[in-house]
Amino acid sequence: MPDPAALAPDLSRPTTPAAFAEAAMRSLRPVFGASRAVFSDRHRGGPGRMHFINWPSWCEAHYCAEVRARDPIRTWLDGVAASHDSSVARLSELAPAARSDEPLLTESGAAFVLTLALRDRSRIVGALSLVRDASRGDFNERDRVLSLSLLPLLEMAYGGMAARIDMAQRSVEHDPLQALTARESEVAKLAAAGHSNKAIARMLAISPWTIKNQMRAVLDKTGTRNRTELSALLGSRRE
């Protein structure tokens, strides 16, 4: 039985769902003998964005185009979304024939899948599918019990990451300037000071075309229509 405290530091650092999926895979790979993983981010509701870890490059596009609509794991997640009766499932239980006729598995070398449903209260906010190659054999009852014991740690780590994302989003909505990149912020300040695109390009040693594109991004992100409004917005933040 792995020590949850040893896994916690890696799982507490991610700031995006993709990074969370990577950290979870690194932490759980030696525990379960998994060669790859898929994470479904359901924080915003619905089936959410899929993150494929250690899969061939073609697998994500194939899944979205050919598998997602009939995925037995997705069907299971939708079915148990309002219930605490089940939080862990094996693909071999959900669809016994899936391994033999699904190119996503057979052509990538994958064979067995164990999916953990992450909840926030009764709502499923994420699903981590650990995947084994055929040579490793299917997940068993010990793996199920072990995954259930680690599930609260995963839920807590993912919940903390989601809360940080929500807080950052509210901060950006309150202050649109926080949505700017460092270079966009630099361009915005020079533009608000009255410099032309050509002058800014010379100052920053980049092309006027690049400055034009960055200025368009600055106006879009800040919700301003022109340099006058941008200057007023920047001035209000200095007051």
Amino acid at 5: A
Domains of the chain: 4-173 (3.30.450.40), 176-238 (1.10.10.10)
Q: Provide the pLDDT for residue 82.
A: 52
The predicted structure's pLDDT at residue 178:
78
Please tell me the distance from the alpha carbon of residue 98 to that of residue 90, in angstroms, as a whole number.
11
- Cβ neighbours of 210 (radius 10 Å): 15
Tell me the whole-structure pTM to 2 decimals. 0.68
- pLDDT at residue 83, rounded to an integer: 59
CB 41 within 8 A of CB 126: yes
Name the region of 109 (left: φ>0; alpha: ψ -120 to 50; beta: rest): left
Helix axes 17-32, 141-174, angle to 10 degrees: 160
Which residues of the chain are modeled with pLDDT < 70? 1-9, 45-47, 81-85, 98-100, 167-174, 237-239
pLDDT of residue 164: 78
Q: Specify the pLDDT at position 2.
A: 62
Cβ atoms 53, 130 nearer than 8 A: no
Give the amino acid at 170: R
- What local confidence, expressed as pLDDT, does residue 100 receive? 60
